[in-house]
Structure 1
């Protein structure tokens, strides 16, 4: 597994003069010229099993009887509060706010990192590309969900509290602004229809993660510019789809 130390050689082609400051927030932003943006769940980490376990525990406790795993699995791609409601939990919002983080933390041992994606992120970082994550997860979950090696590698994380939820483009737009990158020089790699919609609305190249929650056929159907079949396809080759990159190729599926 890649170590955090191995990921620390940062932005080799960026000199100190290329660092900017967001005049609104006062936050330093990286002016690399290009950005690679990622959803987290289903793209960098596999949280499907852990999420299903957390939902099963909460639904069983709320209803007083076990729910078939296959039924829970049908709802696992929904936002957790929506999944709880769909599975018959009354006052799903309260149950979600009071108990979901704890249930997910208890199941975190089932979370795994897609190592080829991490290797691709490291390759992009070494090429001087700004890295960002836009996730629907709350900041409170990041300490036990976001692998330390990934946290050490990325430049910006936009969590649930930081922007309007996808499919709104706000998180993607904010990440580009923090990185000092124009949207046409960024791609967003996601695994759901909401990810693709958010990226398209923000004006970035949308890349579908075919190994994620909904699969490649759905991602093509909702209009992803590029669909990757396997995690090992993540890397600097994706930059050829961006404006201004040398040897830019036509964007195809």
Structure 2
């Protein structure tokens, strides 16, 4: 029987960008390339700020005409060409492995399109997770649908589910889903914004993912069925 065949008592769901991988440099390079191809003069400060926007909104801010068409036709290729800029948070992956060995079900809930997962999600992470909810599978956060779909797949109720995210919309989605929200301080929004949004648990550094989640489970009665 594989690890994924066993029924977990708890599960931990992870956002992708800013939590497991840092895609900011890759997104920046993809946007820069598309803007240059469109003949747009780029202000580096504006380019840096657009990384936090959706790709379509970022292209509009940069001055790319017909941003929606450019996104649909060219963004995926531009991002795939910038894959060398993606950084994996190895300590988070190690923490995920620790959780999996402890019998905790793992999943990913991301706004990325499923077609991008083959080059954005490290193979070792795909081996650890039992479910991936991508852009096509559920409405975008802060809607709770993606989180609830992952809970249903893992057959773990929301009250025994942790959702680790790095944006305020992750906290909002987790709260709406009724899960335990966990903030990744190293990600996009930062610790202060996550606190203001009322995150349940805040993790200071990537190497604390495993220990913090396990400590939270212990405080709730542990992994054994009661």
By how many angstroms is 1:112 displaced?
Answer: 1.4
Per the alignment, residue 58 of structure 1 pairs with: 34
Structure 2 CA distance for aligned equivalents of residues 180 and 68 of structure 1: 48
Secondary structure of the residue aligned to 1:208 is strand
The residue aligned with 2:16 is 40
Work out which of the residue numbers 155, 158, 171 in structure 2 matches 1:180: 155
Classify the secondary structure of the residue corresponding to 2:46: helix
- Aligned counterpart in structure 2 of residue 210 of structure 1, from 185, 190, 203: 185
TM-score for both structures, normalised by structure 1: 0.83
Q: Secondary structure at the match of 1:133?
A: strand
Counterpart in the other structure of 2:93: 118
CA contact (8 A) 1:59 1:67 kept: yes
1:67 and 2:60 aligned: no
1:158-211 CA-to-partner distances (Å, cap 9, x unmatched) read 000000111100000000000000001011000111111111100001111110
- TM-score w.r.t. length of structure 2: 0.93
Alignment of 1:20-39 (within 5 A): 31-39=7-15
Aligned equivalents of 1:129 and 1:39: distance in 2?
Answer: 16
Alignment partner, residue 155 of structure 1: 130
2:193 matched to 1:200? no
CA separation of 1:128 and 1:236: change in aligned 2, threshold 3 A: farther
Q: What RMSD in Å do the two structures reach over aligned CA positions?
A: 1.7
Structure 2 counterpart of 1:26: none
Superposed, 1:58-97 pairs within 5 Å as: 58-62=34-38, 64-97=39-72
| 1:125-164 superposed matches below 5 A | 125-164=100-139
Query: Gaps spanning 5+ residues in structure 2: where?
Result: none
Whether 2:79 is the aligned partner of 1:104: answer yes
* Mean CA deviation greater in 184-193 or 227-236: 227-236
- The answer on whether the counterparts of 1:205 and 1:241 sit within 8 Å (CA) in structure 2 is no
Higher helix share: 2
- Once residues 187 and 132 of structure 2 are traced to their aligned partners in structure 1, the CA distance between those partners, rounded to angstroms, is 20
Q: Distance in 1 between matches of 2:10 and 2:141?
A: 22
How many corresponding residue pairs?
A: 221
